[in-house]
Amino acid sequence: MNKFKLFSIIIGIFIMTCSTKNNNPFFSEWDTLFQVPPFGEIKETHYMPALMEGIDRKTKEIDTIINSLDDPSFENTIEAFEATGYFLDKVSNVFNNVRGTNATDKLDNIAKEFAPIRTKHNDDIILNTNLFEKIKYVYDNTDRAVLTTEQNTLLDKIYGDFVRNGANLTEEEKVELRKINEELSVLTLTFRQNVRDDGNEWEIVLAESDLVGLTESIKSAAANIAEERGHKDKWVVTLDKPSWIPFLTYSERRDLREKVFTAYINRGNNDNEYDTKLFIPKIVNLRIKRANLLGYKNHADYVLERSMAKTSKNVYDFLFKLWKPALNRAKTEAYDLQSIIYNNGDNFKLEPWDWWYYTEKVRMEKFDLDDNELRPYFEVTNVINGVFWLSNQLFGITFTERTDLPKYFDEVKTFEVKEADGSHIGILYTDYHPRIGKGTGAWASGFRYQSNRIGKWVNPVIINVGNFTSPVGDKPALLGFDEVETLFHEFGHALHSLLRNRVYTKQTMPRDFVEFPSQVMENWAIELDVLKHYAFHYETGELIPDELINKIQNASLHNQGFMNVEYLAASFLDMDWHTLEETEDWDPLEFEKASMEKIGLIPEIIPRYNSYYFNHIFSGVIGYSSGYYSYIMSEIMASDAFQYFKDSGNILNKDIAAKYRKYILGLSGTEDAAEIYRKFRGKDPDIEPLLIKRGLK
Ligand SMILES: [Zn+2]
């Protein structure tokens, strides 16, 4: 090769890199309002180069720490390490959120391609001996008294992260651990995609004669979906919850109920290209091997070490405490539903796909509460205004819609969050209705998170996502009351992210604490003093009548046996998978059957998630594995915290709210979670308020 040729190749590469960077919005500082992501300028082709650049920059930042000739100190090692990866986080947050709400094949492929790269990169850091030596030096030699509480927490966390991820292993063992992590990351990612794809494609096309029992609003929603999916003049039910649950609740066609329900509970279990059954033993076994390698008996021990519950024995004890009363209650409920069947002159045995239909009949009969009577009072915008009003009452903060911010999808709304004095807190994106390419369920996440390093306050940009009932024709989105509660729940997560007050972003909370700030919000949704400020009829503007409020409150214990049992059953299933100590070629169907027999689950109810679509526990290297119980553990604190407001005689008590904001929202992650709770409440949480709330006492 002559010199000239080499020169032009170099120039060529240089131009190529520059132009990728020049046109790629991730490579420049964002000059958008509040520095939110410039969605309009971001193209799918921008992600991969930006993600790779993120890896590259973080590697260099780590190298700088390692190569420093100064004695390792908290500042030049721990603080410096905590600040690495800014660019990678900036890109990943946009990518993950956009892919979670607007997935395309291209984005899925990028995720698949990038997952092993990211895992390897993480392993390169966490298994780096030189880096760990420096961290260990700081851990062993720092005078703890000179550090703040948050700094001490950070030091323990980072040192612990390294040890828990294999820093003390031999080189040979490290290689093995890397292999396991890589395999797990690919397997669990595919698991999640398969569940989504197996569910997304499924639909049942209905003719007019199949609609018997359905209300007008369910019919028009089904007609809408049919039109979207190209079935003109038909009705379609899908496996999205807002579609199948109303269908199961009202359809008089038992055969169709069975068909829809069976499809829902068999996602990942159809022996087709999306089947996930083969993945489960692989994931479980890899997790056992991983735990053993790191010195734990099983995966649950490894995970729970970092939780408030601490041990699997504590989790089981606590689950059984709730299981017994819940199961008894569910048996009574099943008996009642069976009686209706016999009273109607039918002779069949109650099956899981009958539960929604007959329990709705009980609800109507006992509480005279008709979901369709309620929905007009819960138009989605009114509900959002309700949570805004509530947050204003509690914390003095305000929410103003902004129509001048970039969005990743038209339907999304953006709000600016401000303190009572008008100063800026952050931005909230809301994205509430289902569409193809959006993951199922509801969640909160962020494009940017609060921090306050070296006195530089970073304002959060947070997102709330749901799959709530869509608007139909001229009719706005009218939510069921359970959807209202979910909206309040996710909003609680958003508030948590918006009102944090910490120096370092990489502070994490125990998982069984995470659902506390979200669940506590649900309590307010149903209170008279709050409903009065948001439950207005969407057509007449009339406030929800007291009589209906009474009915909602009276009915709040309805079906609690079922709801607790299906949840607890899934929690047991999760724990059973992850307390296994020997690898084996498990048959997920057999395993699950045995697991449910052990706790005496009745055949009329199945776990809220069967193993083959249990995304919480089988997506992510760790995900929510050995952690599905966390929701109810958090709810103990949520119920006890709300009781604090109630006991004060004012559920909008500003002094308690201020303590809640200061300690629970502000300090979470910066010190021991149980300690934070005691600072807020003056004592440990009590389980009583939860048992009473759920009718288990
Ligand atoms: Zn949550």
Residue type, 82: E
Which band of pLDDT confidence, cut at 50, 70 and 90, is reported for residue 555?
confident
Among 213-217, 366-370, 461-465, 638-642, the range scoring the smallest mean pLDDT is 366-370
Tell me how far apart the alpha carbons of residues 39 and 540 are, in angstroms, rounded to a whole number: 38
Centre of ligand 1 to C-alpha 328, Å, is 27
Strands 461-465 and 424-431: parallel
Three-state DSSP at 429 gives strand
Report how far ligand 1's centroid is from the alpha carbon of 633 (Å). 12
| Angle, in degrees to the nearest 10, between helices 86-101 and 44-67 | 150
For residue 622, the CA-to-ligand 1 centroid distance in Å is 17
- Average the pLDDT over each of 365-374, 528-537, 539-548, 579-588 and give the range with the smallest value: 365-374
The residue count for the chain: 697
Q: Which stretches of 396-532 are DSSP H helices?
A: 481-498, 511-514, 516-525, 528-531
Q: Are 523 and 637 in contact (CB under 8 A)?
A: no
Would residue 35 be called left, alpha or beta, if left means φ above 0 and alpha means ψ between -120 and 50 degrees?
left
Q: Which residues on neighbouring strands pair with residue 671, listed in sequence order?
A: 668
Å from CA of 489 to ligand 1 middle: 6
Residue 1 has pLDDT above 50, yes or no: no
Looking at the chain, the whole-number percentage of residues with pLDDT higher than 70 is: 97
Amino acid found at 252: E
How does DSSP assign 657-671, residue by residue? Answer: HHHIIIIIIIHBTTB
Q: Identify the active-site residue in 53, 183, 360, 490.
A: 490
pLDDT recorded at residue 20: 63
Rounded Cα distance, 183 and 513, in Å: 29
Q: Which tokens in the block code for residue 631?
A: 């929701």
Does position 9 have pLDDT exceeding 60, yes or no? no
Torsion, Cα of 624, 278, 243, 102 (10° steps): 70
Q: How far apart, in whole angstroms, are the C-alpha atoms of residue 113 and residue 134?
A: 32
Between the CA of 416 and the centroid of ligand 1 the distance, in Å, is 22
pLDDT at residue number 424: 98
Q: How far apart are CA 130 and CA 136, in angstroms?
A: 10
In the chain, count H helices and then E strands: 30, 9
Q: Could you tell me the distance, in angstroms and rounded to a whole number, from the CA of residue 596 to the centre of ligand 1?
A: 25
Ligand 1 centroid – CA 11 distance (Å): 51
Helix axes 380-395, 481-498, angle to 10 degrees: 40
Q: Count CB atoms within 10 A of the CB of residue 216.
A: 10
Number of neighbours of residue 386 by Cβ within 10 angstroms:
24
Using only C-alpha atoms, the chain has a radius of gyration, in whole angstroms, of: 26
What average pLDDT does the chain have? 94
Q: Is the pLDDT of residue 458 over 80?
A: yes
Q: Which range (58-62, 658-662, 690-694) has the least confidence?
A: 690-694
Asked which of 7-16, 517-526, 583-592 is least confident by mean pLDDT, the reply is 7-16
The pLDDT value recorded for residue 663 is: 98
- Known catalytic membership, residue 490: yes
pLDDT per position as a tens digit, 149-169: 999 999 999 999 999 999 999
Percent of the chain with pLDDT over 90: 87
How far is ligand 1, taken at its centre, from the CA of residue 439, in Å? Answer: 15
b/e map of 189-210 (b: 16 or more CB within 10 Å)? Answer: bbbbbbbbbbbbebbbebeeeb
Query: What would the two tokens of residue 651 be?
Result: 């559920």
Tell me what the mean pLDDT of segment 671-675 comes to: 94
Question: Average pLDDT in the 613-642 region?
Answer: 93
d(CA 122, CA 165): 10
Least confident range of 361-370, 398-407, 613-622: 361-370
The per-residue pLDDT for range 248-297, each reduced to its tens digit, is 999 999 999 999 999 999 999 999 999 999 999 999 999 999 999 999 99
pLDDT value, residue 3: 45
Residue from 201, 185, 287 nearest 240 by CA: 201
- Name every residue whose Cβ is closer than 8 Å to that of residue 163 and which is 6 or more positions away in sequence: none
DSSP assignment of 82-128 equals: HTTTHHHHHHHHHHHHHHHHS--HHHHHHHHHHHHHHHHHHHHHHT-
147 Cα distance to chain centroid: 33
Give the span between the Cα atoms of 199 and 46, in whole angstroms. 29
Gap from CA of 527 to ligand 1 centroid (Å): 20
Residue 666 Cα to chain centre, angstroms: 20
The yes-or-no verdict on residue 364 having pLDDT over 90 is: no
pTM: 0.85
Residue 6 has pLDDT above 90, yes or no: no
Supply the pLDDT for residue 222. 95
Q: List phi, psi (to 5°) of 146.
A: -85, -10
Query: Phi and psi at residue 604, in whole multiples of 5°?
Result: -75, -15
SS3 state of residue 511? helix
Cβ-based neighbour number of residue 298 at 10 Å: 20
Contact yes or no for 83/145 (Cβ under 8 A)? no
Q: Which are the contacts of 380, defined by CB distance < 8 A and separation ≥ 6?
A: 432, 468, 476, 477, 478, 479, 487
Structure confidence at residue 15 (pLDDT): 44
Task: Specify the pLDDT at position 554.
Answer: 87
Task: Dig out the tokens for 388 from the structure.
Answer: 């805004």
Are 122 and 162 in contact by the 8 Å Cβ rule? The answer is no
pLDDT (tens digit, 9 = 90+) per residue, 33-82? 999 999 999 999 999 999 999 999 999 999 999 999 999 999 999 999 99
CA distance 166 to 430: 39
CA 514 / ligand 1 centre spacing (Å): 7
Q: How far is the CA of 522 from the centre of ligand 1 (A)?
A: 11
Q: Count CB atoms within 10 A of the CB of residue 584.
A: 11
For residue 482, give both structure tokens.
């359970």
CA 628 to centroid of ligand 1, rounded, Å: 11
- Provide the token pair at 581: 């100590």
| Dist CA 576 CA 596 (whole Å) | 10
Cβ neighbours of residue 471 closer than 8 Å, sequence gap 6 or more: 433, 477
Report the relative pairing of strands 203-206 and 235-238 from DSSP bridges. Answer: antiparallel
Between 697 and 58, name the one with better pLDDT. 58
Assign 444 to helix, strand or coil.
Answer: strand
Cα(688)–Cα(669) distance, rounded to whole angstroms? Answer: 26
Specify whether the CB–CB gap between 646 and 696 falls below 8 A: no
What is the Å distance from ligand 1's center to 465 Cα?
11
How far, in Å, CA of 214 to CA of 203, rounded?
Answer: 17
Average pLDDT over residues 605-632: 94
Measured CA to CA, the distance from residue 593 to residue 205 in angstroms comes to 32
Distance between CA atoms of residues 38 and 334, nearest Å: 53
Classified as helix, coil or strand, 258 is: helix
Å from CA of 491 to ligand 1 middle: 9
Task: Give the contacts of 346 (CB within 8 A, at least 6 positions apart).
Answer: none
Distance 547 CA to ligand 1 centre (A): 30
